[in-house]
Structure 1
Amino acid sequence: MTEIADLSFEAALDELEKIVQQLESGKAPLQESIAIYERGEALKRHCETLLKQAEARIEKITLAKDGTASGTEPLDP
């Protein structure tokens, strides 16, 4: 299995969706379900972290009076 920290957001989300499907099917034995659930929780935290990092990098473009771009400022100051 790939280390969670090495996964992109899309790869982590894809794996998380597969875990949800496995757990919802109810076909995995209890011990396996617990391990799968724990990995799912770690994947969820990883996705949340990556989203927060992306949000921190998003900036709002500011416009001059003539309508041209004049710079940027934080999206949520």
Structure 2
Amino acid sequence: MSEQKTRGDTADERLTYEQARAELATVVERLEAGGTSLEESLALWERGERLADICQRWLDGARDRLDAARQARESA
């Protein structure tokens, strides 16, 4: 099972911000619609948490790049 988790994590790391955000929106819609079993709801929630983390890493990286560009411009 840990092998499958590792492969999934690797695939997740290749998601673009837009892909992760779109999938996260789908997960939220499914959770809000209801009608899923407790087990499926928990799996969706966990997937949503992973996708939210991916989105946050992308946003943090973008912020770091902007900060670096500002600092480079100010010191030039």
- The answer to whether the superposition gives a TM-score over 0.5 is yes
TM bin (shorter chain): 0.7 to 0.9
Q: CA deviation at 1:21?
A: 0.2
Q: Percent identity?
A: 37
Q: Which runs of 4+ in 1 moved over 6 A?
A: none
- CA apart distance, 1:3: 2.4
Aligned residues: 65
Give the aligned CA root-mean-square deviation in angstroms: 2.3
**TM-score under structure 1 length normalisation:** 0.74
Structure 2 unaligned regions, length at least 5: 1-7
Mind listing any 5+ residue stretches in structure 1 that lack a counterpart? 62-70
- 2:63: which partner in 1? 55
Larger CA Rg, structure 1 vs 2: 1
TM-score by length of 2: 0.75
CA distance in 1 between counterparts of 2:37 and 2:53 reads: 24
Deviation digits for residues 10-56 of structure 1 (CA, Å, limit 9, x no counterpart): 00000000000000001211101100100100100110011000111
